[in-house]
Amino acid sequence: MSEGQIRQSLSGFYDIYSEGQTYRTRARGNFRKRKITPLVGDRVTFESTSPKEGYVLEILPRDNELTRPPVANVDQGVVVTAVASPEFSTGLLDRQLIALEVSDITPVIYFTKTDLIDDARYQEFETLAAGYRKIGYTVCLTREPFATEGLDQLKATLKGQETVIMGQTGAGKSTLLNHISPDLALATGEISTALNRGKHTTRKVSLMPIAGGLVADTPGFSSYETLTIDYRDLCHYFPEFLNVASDCRFRGCVHVNEPGCAVKDGLTNGDFLQSRYDNYLQLLTLLKNQKPIYNKKK
């Protein structure tokens, strides 16, 4: 029996990487009975008679898992965000950051298409980036798109980590990966659309070794999960609010109308981004009005 990590899943086969070698395996029949699906990124025990045949025996405990893309044990998520075309929205960016925070995945923000905006607009993004860095997020923003300095910063971030790349369709995810690892030559938009016209596109998920780390090859990951958290927990996923929450007068303060609220004070003092608080209020209302989901699959 050996231990390894699933690096690719394709049509019921799982390619496991263990001590420098890859083994093609299938899941044991009892996995289906127990309604367990191995995921790319899973650390597993397996047995194999040859590199071409073997069985996954057990999935070791997961740190986290995503449904889109179906990947486990993710360390960080790079949110690729275009400053224009598609039009930039702090709302969408914050939704993606929260989705990662909820899954206990470290977010990294990478801004693309900076050549499409003028200097005044770029300054606004510099200010915004500074606000996100103050929260503790890594932000890559350069005046020239895909400038060496931004790419080097990202490569250093990828090293030794398992990463998903996410962002709106058209944000430039494939282009970014091609810049980091030119030998990948990932198909950008038009080509992949042409290939996906067939009805039976094979769902292949894989982890690619890039810049000394592993990157989930899922350029289709453009949407975020529907948030199914309780509205009272939302503030836990805004790190800057969480940091000062213990100074609020009331325990369980949701930072809206309560007196003696440290978040509202911080906002008045300019400690927080106004856009973050506005998006927080918007999401809070949305979650409050959301009908509870019963029989939710665990």
> Is 270 annotated as belonging to a binding site?
no
> Is 150 annotated as belonging to a binding site?
no
> Is 114 annotated as belonging to a binding site?
yes
> Is 170 annotated as belonging to a binding site?
yes
State residue 173 phi and psi, 5-degree precision.
-65, -50
> Is 173 annotated as belonging to a binding site?
yes
> Is 25 annotated as belonging to a binding site?
no
> Is 160 annotated as belonging to a binding site?
no
> Is 220 annotated as belonging to a binding site?
no
> Is 248 annotated as belonging to a binding site?
yes
CA–CA distance from 193 to each of 84, 89, 200, 207, 218 (Å)?
A: 22, 25, 13, 21, 14
SS3 96: helix
> Is 138 annotated as belonging to a binding site?
no
> Is 172 annotated as belonging to a binding site?
yes
Would you say 291 and 231 are in contact if contact means Cβ atoms under 8 Å apart?
no
Determine the Cα–Cα distance for residues 193 and 190; give it in Å rounded to an integer: 5
Would you say 102 and 237 are in contact if contact means Cβ atoms under 8 Å apart?
yes
> Is 112 annotated as belonging to a binding site?
yes
> Is 253 annotated as belonging to a binding site?
yes
> Is 106 annotated as belonging to a binding site?
no
SS3 279: helix
> Is 175 annotated as belonging to a binding site?
yes
Q: Cα(first)–Cα(last) distance of the chain, in Å? A: 30
Determine the Cα–Cα distance for residues 132 and 240; give it in Å rounded to an integer: 10
> Is 140 annotated as belonging to a binding site?
no
Would you say 46 and 40 are in contact if contact means Cβ atoms under 8 Å apart?
no
Annotated binding-site positions: 112-115, 167-175, 248, 253, 255, 261
Annotated binding-site positions for GTP: 112-115, 167-175
Annotated binding-site positions for Zn(2+): 248, 253, 255, 261
